[in-house]
Amino acid sequence: MNKVLGVGSTKPIKDELAVRLGLYEAFVLQQVHYWLLQSKHEIDGRRWVYNTYADWNKQLPFMSLSTVKRAFLKLEKKGILITGCFNKFLIDKTKWYTINYDVLDKMNLLTEEDIAVLSHVSSEPAEHFNMGKCTNLID
């Protein structure tokens, strides 16, 4: 079986990923994966990224805002996306995201190259954030 999560790419999607997760979910997952590889926000041994749905929608303009939101929520429900709230200000409810690569590995969706890249943990100190409830506002 060919594994499909390409390291470093942002929009090219493999057929198997789209078939197994859904086309929109595959695009969202690939975009989050791309930004996680760039992220300097490491918390509890995981890299995290954050955006509102509107900001994600700007990166995925071929999807409607409601489709972006649905894709994120489906990936969260499947346990592929993990969310948190690490904002510096408690009033900021923007969701933070990381990928549960263990779930993808169990689904045989990671290549050996993916695993090698993902096993590298940044040696930079993590920033400290407030924990609170996040909602990921639409605008």
pLDDT tens string 64-116: 999 999 999 999 999 999 999 888 887 887 899 999 999 999 998 887 777 77
**Range list of β-strands (E), the chain:** 42-43, 46-47, 49-50, 81-84, 96-99
Residue 9, token pair as written in the block: 């790419």
Query: Model confidence at 36, in pLDDT bands (50, 70, 90)?
Result: very high
Residues 6 or more apart whose Cβ sits within 8 Å of residue 101: 110, 114, 118
Per-residue pLDDT at 50 exceeds 60: yes
pLDDT digits (tens, 9 = 90+) for 120-139: 534 343 343 444 456 554 44
